[in-house]
Amino acid sequence: MKIRKIICVMILCVVMTATTGAAQNEAITRAEFCAFAVSMYESVKGDITGRVSFVDTDDVNVEKMAFVGVVSGIGNNRFDPNSTLTREQAAVILSRLSNALDQPLQPAAADFSDKGSIAEWAVTSVGQVQAAGIMIGVDDSRFAPQQPYTRAQSIITIQRTLKLVRSEETVQYIRAYGRTGDVKYPSIAVVSSVKELEQYGVEKYSDDFFKDRYLVIVLLEEISGSIRHKVERVDENGDIIIKRFVPEIGSADMAEWHIVIELDNNFKPAQFNVVLIEEKM
């Protein structure tokens, strides 16, 4: 079966983190934000093979982001991974991330009433992410540069950054904390309407799409968010052949992947099955 399009929608789930809305509004750490950034970067550019080490962390996501120049240490070869990320630090990372993905943000002056309180090393980046629509103020006029950055804000701005470097026809990436619940993996769902799609957080489809097409969404659970997937084909029996690319070194966070496959209405097997093939990166 010829697949119209495959869209990998990754929902990273840190199982030690609470799944409530309150957890989404908790401050994110420097290392946690690196995990978001790595997953986005690798969805566009492929696996980051290099590493930069720090004396106070062996977090692979921190090492990867440092290697591509998106983050840096705080001095004395330290990264301070567990400290809270601030809004101005997030602006710098998002600006550098766009640059690393070959989509540099255009220069622009920050236009906030408290721009005088933005650190000199961050003011250019704040202007860039504001002009690009990636980050906005905390109210009508303030940026609050030293205010902690939340997990929810991180998810939203990573998505906005990705939209700038991806065309409509490619991958949509979504990351969130929490687990789906009591699910038997792999789980397969057939989605035939926008209403049915709402629970998956995928926003790019309209009612027009479902006039002659439908989606098959495969939910996989993995031991690491560093594992990548590629759908090879969907055969006439409904077998969905998926390759799992497992890195030699990966993050140790439990993860869920939603893999969204577009199919024509004239192809509807009696049932779908997932066949996983493991390959080393």
pLDDT reported for residue 279: 78
Burial of 110 (0-12, 13-18, 19+ CB in 10 A): buried
What are 262's strand-pairing partners? 5, 215
The alpha carbons of the chain give a radius of gyration, in whole angstroms, of 20
Nearest 5 degrees, angle CA 144-CA 165-CA 277? Answer: 115
What is the spatial distance between Cα 136 and Cα 69, in angstroms, rounded to a whole number? 24
Nearest 5 degrees, angle CA 20-CA 24-CA 27? Answer: 130
pLDDT reported for residue 141: 86
pLDDT reported for residue 24: 65
Residues of the chain with confidence (pLDDT) below 70: 1-24, 166-183, 201, 203, 225-226, 248-254, 281
| Ordered DSSP codes for 219-278 | EEEES-TT-EEEEEEE-TT-EEEEEEEE-SS-----EEEEEEEEEETT---S--EEEEEE
Helix (H) or strand (E) holding 6: strand 5-12
Residue ranges of domains in the chain: 20-165, 187-280
What is the spatial distance between Cα 194 and Cα 125, in angstroms, rounded to a whole number? 37
What is the spatial distance between Cα 238 and Cα 10, in angstroms, rounded to a whole number? 23
What is the spatial distance between Cα 159 and Cα 37, in angstroms, rounded to a whole number? 10
Residue with token string 């994110």: 28
Decide: 59 and 32 in contact? Cβ < 8 Å: no
What are 274's strand-pairing partners? 240
What is the spatial distance between Cα 55 and Cα 235, in angstroms, rounded to a whole number? 49
Look up residue 214 and give its two tokens.
Answer: 């439908």
pLDDT reported for residue 92: 97
